[in-house]
Structure 1
Amino acid sequence: MIRPRNPWLLPLSVFVALLLGLLPLPAWLLPFRPYWLALVVAYWVIEDPERAGLGFAFAMGVLADLAFGGLLGEQALRLVVMAFILQRFRAQLRFFPLSQQALAIGGLLVNDRVVSAAVHFTLGEPQLPWTFWWAPLLGMLLWAPVFLLLDTFRLGRR
């Protein structure tokens, strides 16, 4: 068994993603806030499936639900759905170039919005305005920098 070079990186990256999600933004910027936690969970599910799987996604979702104060279990469901799809297609995704990975992550982030809308519709909660559908596009554009940054720290490259 190979020990990870930086065992602190996974919890630190999740902590930073939660902080970025809690960062106060002006009202006009809120629709463009990327789902940082989803990007970080996606990275770990793809790159370190022994440490990050469905249970990890569920735990991070519950933690995010508690931190952000939304519907308890909503983000957990969203992250578990995303992690399940990522696990299913992990073998193919790992060999995609970053641009194609970004498109796949963008599709998963759109799917995340669909799951969120379905949960809100089912429970009779108010829906997010249509402008919030821009966030998956920004998340898709941020996938390559997030991936490269975490990969650099994880592998210890300079």
Structure 2
Amino acid sequence: MSRERAGWVLPVSIVLALLLGLVPLPAPIMALRPYWLGLAVAYWVLEEPEKAGLGFAFFVGLIADLVFGNLLGEQALRLVIMAFILQRFRARLRFFPLSQQSLAIGALLVNDRIVTTVLHFALGEPLLPPTAWAAPAIGMLLWPPMFLLFDTLRLKAWRHR
């Protein structure tokens, strides 16, 4: 596999995360939807910092704002904040066991909910329902299988270069 073809994993994972964010869910569980895009961006910021940084997070966030019909810049800001924190602690987080990484990702997802709540409150937008605060726990539980899947695909593509 050539170097150029090995780069398919990153864009496909971002598109898949966007699509998972668009999947219609029943109203009672809509607020429990994990922040798929945040999880995907977190993986890439941790594992491929030369490809995924603050600019990457901002660009992906703007695309997500357009795709989801959010306030333009909301997800971009959220993802940039997440990417900044991840970059700051990347050296430590990468070498945590997956269980501890999950806790750190859970804390980042709670921080994301706080940022979202503050933004919505400041702009007079409707606040998140109380059940939305359970979504970070779901994202935290999804981190290990998602990390292992992305790592397997990325390293398999890398080995075939």
Give the TM bin, normalised by the shorter chain.
over 0.9
**1:123-156 deviations in whole A, cap 9, x for unaligned?**
1111011111110000000000000000000001
C-alpha distance in structure 2 between counterparts of 1:128 and 1:152, whole Å: 35
SS at match of 1:58: helix
Aligned to 1:32: 32
Is residue 75 from structure 1 mapped to residue 75 from structure 2 by the alignment?
Answer: yes
**Matches of 1:38 and 1:54, distance apart in 2:** 13
Percent identity between matched residues is 70
1:30-68, Cα deviation, whole Å (9 max, x unpaired): 111000000000000000000000000000100000000
Structure 1, unmatched stretches of 5+, are none
**Structure 2 CA distance for aligned equivalents of residues 139 and 121 of structure 1:** 24
Dislocated runs of 4+, deviation >3 Å: none
Alignment of 1:1-158 (within 5 A): 3=3, 6-156=6-156
Shift of residue 4 of structure 1?
Answer: 7.5
Secondary structure of the residue that 2:34 maps to in structure 1? Answer: coil
Tell me which amino acid in the other structure corresponds to 1:62: L
Task: Give TM-score, length-normalised by structure 2.
Answer: 0.94
Q: Work out whether residues 34 and 138 of structure 1, in 8 Å CA contact, stay in contact via their aligned partners in 2.
A: yes
Give the secondary-structure state (helix, strand or coil) at the position aligned to 2:28.
coil
